[in-house]
Amino acid sequence: MKLVTWNVNSINARQRYVEMFLDEVDPDLLCIQELKMPTQRVPVSMFADRGYHVAVHGQSRWNGVLIASKTPLEDVHCGLPAVDEGQSRLIAATTQGLRIVNLYCPQGSSQDSPKFQYKLKFFDGLSEWLANTLDPKGPVVVTGDINIARNPDDVWSVEAFTDVPTYHPKEHKRWDKLISWGLSDAVRPHIAEGTFSFWDYRGGSFYRNQGMRIDHFLVTDSVLHSVTGAEVLRDWRKMKKVGSDPLTASVHAPVSLPIDW
């Protein structure tokens, strides 16, 4: 079973690109973040026509999360009402016994910004929600654009990210709390040092590999034992073409997690 997470930075702008990805990579389950479209306008037919079941939690212009699965999705839950302030950043569903939690976590702007305080509050609420609603002994996958690079080798320059959101000590404490609930980073053991999932559009950062690893699969032990590998699909960060028509990729690369499930 191939699980994939991908921040597409607008499903409207990337629809044909995502369709190409579905046809070529053929994931069994795809978690998408940053739809930037209200639920009723999300083009779910692009998934349904390919045999996927879809659950959507959209929002006009910003945020938005989606789960597409080749097997039916049950017990769909949208939002983190206690802390998300109406922003569409969480969707959860169960398929084949796996509880999938797809997240688009806040970025945080700067450490002096109210957006950073919102980010910290969001993670506190997320930890509380996990503890109150899910069982760490069960099969749980927490994935998405988590917007935290936890370790020094998850950023291209520790000096450049000192006290900067995405690589901030206060965020690292929130990450550690998530892990202590019963999660493990399922991707880290399977990728080389300096493997990133996000690169800024500016300054040629992609080609210089000046990136961050902020798109993650965190799984409970019952899932971890079934993981057979992991890969950042870096090539899908590049521009592609359909005939002479260029299709621009997101600033994130998809992350793939195959599991024997």
Residues lower than pLDDT 70 in the chain: none
pLDDT confidence of residue 242: 83
How many domains is the chain built from?
Answer: 1
User: Would you say 249 and 239 are in contact if contact means Cβ atoms under 8 Å apart?
Assistant: yes
Q: Which long-range contacts (CB under 8 A, 24 or more apart) does 114-118 make?
A: 116/165, 116/168, 118/85
Q: In the prediction, which pLDDT does 145 show? A: 98
Q: What is the reported pTM?
A: 0.98
Other beta carbons within 10 Å of 136: 14
Report residue 223 as tokens.
């899932």
The H-or-E segment that residue 15 falls in is helix 15-25
pLDDT at 84: 98
Q: What is the pLDDT of residues 221-255, one digit of tens each?
A: 999 999 999 999 999 999 898 888 889 889 999 99
CATH number at residue 231: 3.60.10.10
Q: Is the dihedral of CA 251, 15, 13, 65 positive or negative?
A: negative
Note the pLDDT tens digit of each residue in 118-142: 999 999 999 999 999 999 999 999 9
pLDDT at 248: 85
Domain range holding 27?
2-258
Q: Sheet containing 184-185: which strands, arranged edge to edge? A: 74-78, 90-95, 98-104, 140-145, 215-219, 184-185
Mean pLDDT of the chain: 97
Structure tokens at 112: 């002096």
- pLDDT of amino acid 202: 85
Give the pLDDT confidence score for residue 64 in this predicted structure.
98
pLDDT at position 243, please? 83
